[in-house]
Amino acid sequence: MADGKADRKKRVLLVVRISVVAVGLVLAAIWVFSERIWTDLKGAFARMDLWVFACVFGVFCLSQLIVGLRWWLLLRTQGIFINFWVAVRLYFLGWFYNNVMPGSVGGDLVRIWYVTKHTEKKFEAGLSVFVDRVIGLLSTLIIACFFYFAFLRSEKIPFVGADSPVFRYWWLVLLVVAALFAGLSVHRRGRTLIRRLWTALQGIFAKLLSAGRLYGRKPFTILEVFALTVCLQITTITAFWFLGSNIGIEVGIEYYYVFFTLVWVIGAIPVSIAGAGVVEGALVVLFVSIAGVAKADAMALALLQRLIWLLASLPGAVIHITGTHLPKDFSS
């Protein structure tokens, strides 16, 4: 019975996320045709040099390969010595699922599931994926904050800041959590659930401390991984700046460093499939409202980013089909 309820809940959430994508596509189509920018959009694509697109795509694929190296280093820090190319294949598999599952973190769950098939250190392997994601998000936010305060401090970023709904209604979130906790405390089953949760959290916290000590013993590795991540993201965004310039967007590169990093963080929120519609919409809003870029050019850049993501995820699909992400003795 419980499994049936869980399945229904998953189906409902999936429908919601698919609906977000569908609504986004419909709104985008209405916007394109109502604003009569279809011709301008085609013009932006026509201005693009295919060699520039190919170079940007190559840079992006290379960066994903190096991110696989980053995760491999984190695994070794936890004493998990799997083959480098196995780690890379698992990373590309996760990247593929990031582009077909809700948010940009769905592939992380797939990565956790399959990496535990290659080692007995299940918790440590799963933790490495979590740490890999945290390092990526933190470096993204640091880049956004640095370039915003250094170059765009006078600009007001939509949906970010003290007056945004996220910050304005923080007290409401705390109130809901407190009410939920109080409601559970009233009933015997609720108290039992809280005790079990607390016991589970204590176990997880103990394992986190143990794993944290392992990472703490190799601080230079963590710093190297963090520095590598920042360099990769800077390189990738710089490549997108070249692509934007190629289609006629004439704004400073600092806008790219702030806008792209912000939408990448927003895309991690699992409200649609692979952040589709959400990432593109946010990127268009930022470039149009702050940088003064033409709507058609901003949309063309957002769509080109999505195309590069999708093309770069195809190796993950091949890996999944061929089963090269599985250990050799998996079926034995």
Q: With respect to residue 232, please indicate whether it lies within any of the assigned structural domains.
A: yes
- Is residue 209 over pLDDT 60? yes
Rounded CA gap, 26 and 13, in Å? 20
Q: Which 3 state secondary structure label does DSSP give 273? A: strand
Q: With respect to residue 149, please indicate whether it lies within any of the assigned structural domains.
A: yes
Q: With respect to residue 12, please indicate whether it lies within any of the assigned structural domains.
A: no
Phi/psi for 273 (5° steps) reads: -75, 115
How confident is the model at residue 146, as a pLDDT?
Answer: 92
- Is residue 13 over pLDDT 70? no
The pLDDT of 175-197, averaged and rounded, is 76
**Paired residues of 273 in beta bridges:** 102
Q: Write out pLDDT tens, residues 236-277.
A: 999 999 999 999 999 999 999 999 999 998 887 766 666 677
* Domain extent at residue 268: 41-180+219-322
DSSP assignment, residue 119?
-
- Which of 176-185, 205-214, 278-287 shows the highest mean pLDDT? 278-287
Matching residue, tokens 């598999």: 93
Check if the beta carbon of residue 78 is closer than 8 Å to that of residue 124: yes
Instruction: Give the count of beta carbons closer than 10 Å to the beta carbon of residue 152.
Output: 19
Output the pTM of the full model.
Answer: 0.77
Q: Which two tokens stand for residue 251?
A: 């704004």
Rounded CA gap, 72 and 89, in Å? 11
- Is residue 25 over pLDDT 70? no
224 or 159: which leads in pLDDT: 224
Q: With respect to residue 185, please indicate whether it lies within any of the assigned structural domains.
A: no
Confidence of residue 120 (pLDDT cuts 50, 70, 90): confident
Rounded CA gap, 147 and 257, in Å? 7
**CB-based burial of residue 190 (10 Å sphere; 0-12 exposed, 13-18 middle, 19+ buried)?**
middle
Phi/psi for 37 (5° steps) reads: -110, 10
The pLDDT of 289-308, averaged and rounded, is 93
The pLDDT of 293-301, averaged and rounded, is 92
Check if the beta carbon of residue 101 is closer than 8 Å to that of residue 274: yes
Q: Give me Rg for the CA atoms of the chain.
A: 22
Check if the beta carbon of residue 137 is closer than 8 Å to that of residue 268: yes
Average pLDDT along the chain = 80
How confident is the model at residue 14, as a pLDDT?
Answer: 46
Beta-carbon contacts of 107 under 8 Å, excluding residues fewer than 6 positions away, are 93, 94, 95, 96, 97, 98, 99, 101, 316
Going by C-alpha positions, the residue among 271, 312, 130, 284 that lies closest to residue 208 is: 130
Quick one: what percent of the chain has pLDDT higher than 90?
A: 33
Q: With respect to residue 302, please indicate whether it lies within any of the assigned structural domains.
A: yes
Q: How many domains does the chain have?
A: 1
Q: With respect to residue 204, please indicate whether it lies within any of the assigned structural domains.
A: no
Q: Write out pLDDT tens, residues 302-323.
A: 999 999 998 999 998 888 888 8
Q: With respect to residue 90, please indicate whether it lies within any of the assigned structural domains.
A: yes
| Nearest-10 crossing angle of helices 50-77, 219-246 | 170
How confident is the model at residue 134, as a pLDDT?
Answer: 83
Task: Give kind and range of the element (H or E) at residue 123.
Answer: helix 122-151
34 or 141: which leads in pLDDT: 141
Check if the beta carbon of residue 293 is closer than 8 Å to that of residue 162: no
Check if the beta carbon of residue 104 is closer than 8 Å to that of residue 305: no
Helices (H) and strands (E) in the chain, counts: 13, 0
Confidence of residue 11 (pLDDT cuts 50, 70, 90): low
Matching residue, tokens 């209405």: 30
Rounded CA gap, 294 and 247, in Å? 11
Q: Render 66-117 in DSSP notation, one character per residue.
A: HHHHHHHHHHHHTT----HHHHHHHHHHHHHHHTTSBTTTHHHHHHHHHHTT
Q: With respect to residue 187, please indicate whether it lies within any of the assigned structural domains.
A: no
